[in-house]
Amino acid sequence: MKVAVTGATGFVGSRLVERLQADGHQTLILTRNPDRARRMFPTTAFPGVESFGYTPLASGEWQGLISGCDAVVNLAGEPIAEGRWTPERKQSILESRKIGTQKIVEAISQANPKPEVLVNSSAVGYYGTSETATFDETSPPGDDFLAQVCQEWEAEAQKVTTNGTRLVILRTGIVLGMGGAIAKMLLPFKLYAGGPIGSGRQWFSWIHREDMVNLILAALTQPSINGVLNATAPNPVRMSEFCQTLGEALSRPSWLPVPDFALELLLGDAAKVVLEGQRVVPKEAQGSGFSYQYPTVKQALQEVVSHT
């Protein structure tokens, strides 16, 4: 299989490229920084990987590279929880997903032959936030900024089905692995200063990086997988339990809460990502027979900290 991947140098994308290589697939990386991608995936170690520059928000010659690909995985998007949500940053967060996906779908529509499947990112932010509700793939969208972004993002991806291309949308939770969100939480815990963020009662819907990549691979190779799937583990936890479990995995206490106002001062509206949450369950993934390697947060965190 020949797979085009955007966001391939990111936390999830880089592991996906490694797995595609290991499984004998060809990978075509579309990136704004091809030199960096080539350093990450040298041809000596990754002979099945090619890297090409592209402009994600503009049509161009790069779109012709999609012709002949069997599949496309679109993971690109401006980071959400890094920095304050100024009006300019909110616009960038939206456009990087909405227009970026629009240009990928445009490339697929022009391709000959066309890819059989598009696996497109979304996020559990689609559902809005709640301390009491449980969300599955049939739940309605929320009405906040992130929910709006996810709705517009997914709407662009849905247009690919008019080309006869199978579409899988993965509404992703917090991805756990060595790097990503965990990397930012490890230092205070190692310094005996870790603890729950905010009230600790907010829900934390998560997935281990290996399970995330396995779900993408299943979506690529199993034609029966179609439509929207929640890319989360089957056992979401509240923030207090997550931090308690992380402390236990590190043999450190979880006693010093991070107050709401501290995050709000640092991140402004972006603090909403960690101060509020949603309990999301992967009904469709489980219904498809997908098997989780790390179904509980204890198993996931023990694996992650074993690499520290």
Q: What is the DSSP annotation of 73-110?
A: EE-----SSSS---HHHHHHHHHHHHHHHHHHHHHHHH
Tens of pLDDT, residues 120-135: 999 999 999 999 999 9
Whole-prediction pTM = 0.95
Radius of gyration of the CA atoms of the chain, in A: 19
Mean pLDDT of the chain, nearest integer: 93
Tens of pLDDT, residues 132-181: 999 999 999 999 999 999 999 999 999 999 989 999 999 999 999 987 77
Give me the phi and psi of 5, to 5 degrees please: -130, 125
User: Measured in whole angstroms, how far is the alpha carbon of residue 133 from the centre of its chain?
Assistant: 22
Question: 4, 71 in Cβ contact below 8 A?
Answer: yes
Tens of pLDDT, residues 40-55: 999 999 999 999 999 9
- Closest Cα to residue 193, out of 254, 265, 260? 254
CA distance linking residue 240 with residue 246, whole number of Å: 10
- Rounded mean pLDDT, 89-115: 97
Domains of the chain: 2-175+208-233+281-293 (3.40.50.720)
